[in-house]
């Protein structure tokens, strides 16, 4: 069965786990299994310790124990679960916290973006120490995904360090939310990475929710093109944007 994974942002306004799961299940196409990725850690701070969010305390973990409780409730509905984190300085402290989140959630995605409020400059810092520590703690049973913006602005500032990020990734989840045609959106990334001779892990594009969210960004999917692509039977990631 194909998988559709809904990325929740800190700025969603769900009341509780049941409400979050209900919305994901409602928009899951026939023939797909639903999964939820919850934001867990921003740099070295758990979501429950941050004030710049709309998620209620019940969906904002303050540590791995909270995250494990949320996971248990989500999975009780038959929905898969995981979490995503935002690396900043790529320090050993971050690696320890991010690994704890991944172990509690069962799936970990790294949102790696060379922009203000995401990675801390220099953007081309060597992440080897961070990633080594992270992977050692996670082991082989916790999938590690890399999420990037597949535009020159999201890749070139990483320079050749992007090779290191990709080496550790079990899957690449490019953020194609500025267009409903994710195939076209991926062309710049594929060309640039291939020019560096970098082998790519399996790619699962992240597209905007074509019926509920894209219009907020001025995107008008033609005849539900992205939605039909989900229904085609392939794995798809979807941003539940603010």
Q: Summarize pLDDT for 55-109 with one digit per residue, the tens.
A: 999 999 999 999 999 999 999 999 999 999 999 999 999 999 999 999 999 999 9
Alpha carbon distance 19, 13 (integer Å): 9
Alpha carbon distance 144, 85 (integer Å): 11
Q: Summarize pLDDT for 116-157 with one digit per residue, the tens.
A: 999 999 999 999 999 999 999 999 999 999 999 988 899 999
Confidence of residue 219 (pLDDT cuts 50, 70, 90): very low
Alpha carbon distance 108, 94 (integer Å): 13
- Whether residue 218 is predicted with pLDDT greater than 60 in this model: the reply is no
* pLDDT recorded at residue 132: 98
Burial class for 1, CB neighbours closer than 10 Å (0-12, 13-18, 19+): exposed
DSSP β-ladder status, 80-86 and 144-147: unpaired
Alpha carbon distance 47, 28 (integer Å): 26
- Whether residue 180 is predicted with pLDDT greater than 70 in this model: the reply is no
Torsion-angle region of 117 (φ positive above 0: left; ψ -120 to 50: alpha; else: beta): left
Nearest to 133 by CA among 90, 84, 85, 170: 90
Q: Show the tokens assigned to 104.
A: 């509690």
Q: What is the largest CA-CA distance in the chain?
A: 47
């Amino acid at each position: 069965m194909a998988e559709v994974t809904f990325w929740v942002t800190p700025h969603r306004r769900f009341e509780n786990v049941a409400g979050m799961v209900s919305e994901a299940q409602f928009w899951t196409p026939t023939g797909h299994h639903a999964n939820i990725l919850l934001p867990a850690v921003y740099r070295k701070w758990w979501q429950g310790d941050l004030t710049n969010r709309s998620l209620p305390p019940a969906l904002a973990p303050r540590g791995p124990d909270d995250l494990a409780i949320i996971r248990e409730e989500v999975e009780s509905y038959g929905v898969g679960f995981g979490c995503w984190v935002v690396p900043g300085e790529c320090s050993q402290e971050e690696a320890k916290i991010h690994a704890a989140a991944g172990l509690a959630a069962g799936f970990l995605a790294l949102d790696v973006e060379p922009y203000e409020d995401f990675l801390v400059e220099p953007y081309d810092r060597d992440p080897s120490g961070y990633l080594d520590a992270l992977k050692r703690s996670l082991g082989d049973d916790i999938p590690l995904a890399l999420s990037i913006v597949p535009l020159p602005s999201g890749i070139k500032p990483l320079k050749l360090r992007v090779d290191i990020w990709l080496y550790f990734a079990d899957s690449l989840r490019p953020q194609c939310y500025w267009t409903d045609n994710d195939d076209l959106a991926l062309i710049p990334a594929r060309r640039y990475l291939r020019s560096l001779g970098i082998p790519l892990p399996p790619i699962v594009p992240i597209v905007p929710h074509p019926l509920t969210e894209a219009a907020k960004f001025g995107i008008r999917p033609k005849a539900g093109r992205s939605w039909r692509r989900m229904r085609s039977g392939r794995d798809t990631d979807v941003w539940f944007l603010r």
